[in-house]
Structure 1
């Protein structure tokens, strides 16, 4: 008997469809070759934005995480992935079904039914329990399950990435709004200064020191500054609406946001990009897990070339006539294997394997691109922060100098020693430098938030593998 089983198994294996060999055409990028090093840095915490000491910002982010549709969508995708894991797990377990059938029919007199059944009306009924179990000798179901688990974990990382993206959007929009509000204040002060210059010009015209030309120039400068002030106010309103949408709220929520006094910006930047970034960036982790899932899909596709062996069994009752269904003589049962052997499918199995291998190559390419993007984002933020530190010092010195020059020009003009052209030139430069100064102050916060997001936004997997 054992010899017979061995011969049958050998015949089955020899009759399987031929597997076309296929090698990966894309390989994972070595992170060390891209400059990542084993180094210790201060990673962002899960709520890294708390370091700005702004309760208003903290409240906005908490509301966004609680109410944003993007987070609901991320959770829905995670629910789908969890369901896929449940389905893949169920296939690996024994299956059981209970069935009941009742058919009222007339049996033919000219068929297999002997008298008195032929020509009579009878009730054909059965009650049975069916059992089935896929032995999964070649690991097809195990591979599908491993792929589902990898995709579930990737979706969990995607949910964290959605969180990071939402937090980053709120933080960036918030600091843009604070910049617009700061510019509003600067432009309001500038309008007051220009109105004062206009009054001086009118006094000089009365005194015969200036003409209507200077008056019109001063009036034009006031009007132009008011236009810029209106534009800054409109821009602030648009940013309020943008933040409200990120929070999953109506426009009125944005109107509640007040101008904040920004504290000192954290200035720590990594000296180099750490190798641990591979486990700290949720998008890198998700890409790696999807590449692993694709490898499991290939294993499952290869298992399709081998015989599929299922064990099935049933037990129950069968009878003609409902009254005898549960009698001892109505018992029926059986057990046996079911073997499916793929021999010729017109190349369908190899085509399926080719598709899985192409999906693996695509997943690896996506991983490599995600890794390169992550490294670039960290490098960009680090370089920009380092450059901004000196730029801020130079800009502050420039603003102080031109402000002093403007004040001197106004005093000279008021006393009759200077002309309006000097005042106008100094005023234009003061306006430009003041706006640039607020931009740089806000940019420091935005770059710090950009670096925190680029470093993973508080996400971390201690055992992440490159």
Structure 2
């Protein structure tokens, strides 16, 4: 073994220098890669005040709706989409373990046994030739590949980036699920509240129709007045059927999101929660980039794709490894563990692909293209995140202005109703005028209810667009 070491070492050194030069010459020149957008390019400010308070990760509890909390808990534990996300995390973790194994020596143990006939016309001399014998090999082996050119480290970095992206994707899926469930819950509460107001409208229209019939029979109103009093009722009944359908569909959606049978929530009747205590309308800051899990996932995919480019580049350099084995080989099982059956050896190797029909060049160009695609996807996710949050802020501002105008209109209608009641009490007006004024007030109340639900929905979407209180865990 000592006599062989020096020739092997000299051979390795002699081969390494020309192959390194050849590897450098083989690498193609890649075009400049795409550049990631930064916060200043899309208007994000460094020290901007947050447009909403920093919500906790379980932000839905601030709605003070125990039924929603129960639905959310079941959805986050049972939803198939989140189970898929968790499986992708486990797969990514397995890739990390596989990449880490390349940094360690591989050790194996084998035992082979056979009964074979040694042919006369072969390399085996008498008395083996022409006989049937037992053969056995017991051997331990070890091999190690040096990562002189960073290929293993690049593969590990790519696996780590993919795993972090999978975790961020899981957080994004959870945020989307919780947002959809909370918004559906709010919409169901809105529909049920609208149905109650609609029932009051229908009841008062029925009363108004009865009064018009009496006046028509007494000759005080015409047939045209009677037809006008009858006209709103079919439309109100149509709206009632529409609201009933919407309520059932929303219950079905909530059941699907929380992984339950469609009929499980047929008796769910939530009340519309109050608006969330969101504060401020400040400009979007750079912290948005770290609070949106979809943006963070896209950033990690860029890092993983960049590491894949480094790994593909390292394929052009030599692969240097060392193998060794020790064990026993014998003819006849009784001779296997005797000292004369001992065998051992060492096998250093250096490999460099010189002519591979362009496979490595194509692989490197493909990896570079994947990196460019990842950068483009990151830029797209970043632009979409800023647009999404900006839209929700704009919608909230508009809804606040609409609520102010609607409150003023409702106040006027309320005053008109009070006046109609006073005139009716004083004998100066009839009951029909009071009912008509009450109809206008109910219509304004329905508009106010819609604005309240739209405001809460916009707040929920703003929380989602700002990351829902998610923070990235350190790798």
Which TM-score band (shorter chain)? over 0.9
Residue of structure 2 in register with 1:34 after alignment? 42
Cα offset, 1:405, TM superposition: 4.2
* 1: CA distance, partners of 2:230 / 2:422: 19
* 2: CA distance, partners of 1:150 / 1:358: 17
Q: Does 1:241 align with 2:248?
A: no
Residue of structure 1 in register with 2:111 after alignment? 100
Q: Give per-residue Cα distances to partners, 1:259-283, cap 9 Å, x unaligned.
A: 3152243241341101111111111
SS in 1 for 2:114: strand
Residue of structure 2 in register with 1:262 after alignment? 273
* 2: CA distance, partners of 1:256 / 1:93: 60
- Give the alignment of 1:455-466 within 5 angstroms: 455-461=466-472
Contact 2:275 2:452 in 1 (8 A): no
* 2: CA distance, partners of 1:248 / 1:308: 51
* 2: CA distance, partners of 1:26 / 1:150: 18
TM norm structure 2: 0.91
Residue of structure 1 in register with 2:14 after alignment? 7
Residue of structure 2 in register with 1:394 after alignment? 405
Q: Does 1:55 align with 2:54?
A: no
Cα offset, 1:6, TM superposition: 3.7
* 2: CA distance, partners of 1:207 / 1:4: 121
Distance 1:160 1:370, change over 3 A: same
Residue of structure 2 in register with 1:19 after alignment? 27
* 2: CA distance, partners of 1:399 / 1:27: 54
Alignment partner of 1:315 out of 298, 311, 326? 326
* 2: CA distance, partners of 1:85 / 1:319: 41
Aligned length: 463
* 2: CA distance, partners of 1:115 / 1:3: 40
* 2: CA distance, partners of 1:87 / 1:247: 35
Cα offset, 1:206, TM superposition: 2.3
Q: Give per-residue Cα distances to partners, 1:172-194, cap 9 Å, x unaligned.
A: 11111111011101101100110
* 1: CA distance, partners of 2:469 / 2:183: 17
Residue of structure 2 in register with 1:342 after alignment? 353
Alignment partner of 1:130 out of 141, 144, 151? 141
Distance 1:232 1:71, change over 3 A: same
Residue of structure 2 in register with 1:213 after alignment? 224
Contact 1:24 1:357 in 2 (8 A): no
Backbone CA RMSD of aligned residues: 2.5
Q: Does 1:359 align with 2:378?
A: no
More displaced stretch, 167-176 vs 83-92: 83-92
TM norm structure 1: 0.93
Cα offset, 1:123, TM superposition: 1.4
Residue of structure 2 in register with 1:88 after alignment? 99
Residue of structure 2 in register with 1:279 after alignment? 290
* 1: CA distance, partners of 2:424 / 2:359: 89
SS in 2 for 1:15: helix
Q: Give per-residue Cα distances to partners, 1:276-319, cap 9 Å, x unaligned.
A: 11111111111111100011001100110011111111111000
SS in 1 for 2:249: helix
Residue of structure 1 in register with 2:3 after alignment? none
Contact 1:150 1:293 in 2 (8 A): yes
Q: Give per-residue Cα distances to partners, 1:143-199, cap 9 Å, x unaligned.
A: 111100110011011111011000000011111111101110110110011011011
Contact 1:266 1:448 in 2 (8 A): no
Contact 1:279 1:462 in 2 (8 A): no
Cα offset, 1:233, TM superposition: 1.6
Residue of structure 1 in register with 2:215 after alignment? 204
Residue of structure 1 in register with 2:314 after alignment? 303
Cα offset, 1:407, TM superposition: 7.2
Q: Give per-residue Cα distances to partners, 1:241-274, cap 9 Å, x unaligned.
A: 1111100001233223223152243241341101
Q: Does 1:177 align with 2:177?
A: no
Q: Give per-residue Cα distances to partners, 1:31-68, cap 9 Å, x unaligned.
A: 12222122343322111122222222222211211221
In structure 1, runs of 5+ residues without a counterpart are none
Residue of structure 1 in register with 2:237 after alignment? 226
* 1: CA distance, partners of 2:340 / 2:129: 22
Contact 2:193 2:271 in 1 (8 A): no
Contact 2:72 2:181 in 1 (8 A): yes
SS in 2 for 1:268: coil
* 1: CA distance, partners of 2:208 / 2:348: 100
SS in 2 for 1:335: strand
Contact 1:269 1:382 in 2 (8 A): no
* 2: CA distance, partners of 1:349 / 1:426: 81
Contact 2:75 2:257 in 1 (8 A): yes
Distance 1:102 1:3, change over 3 A: closer
In structure 2, runs of 5+ residues without a counterpart are 1-5
* 2: CA distance, partners of 1:374 / 1:400: 39
Contact 1:131 1:313 in 2 (8 A): yes
Q: Does 1:153 align with 2:164?
A: yes
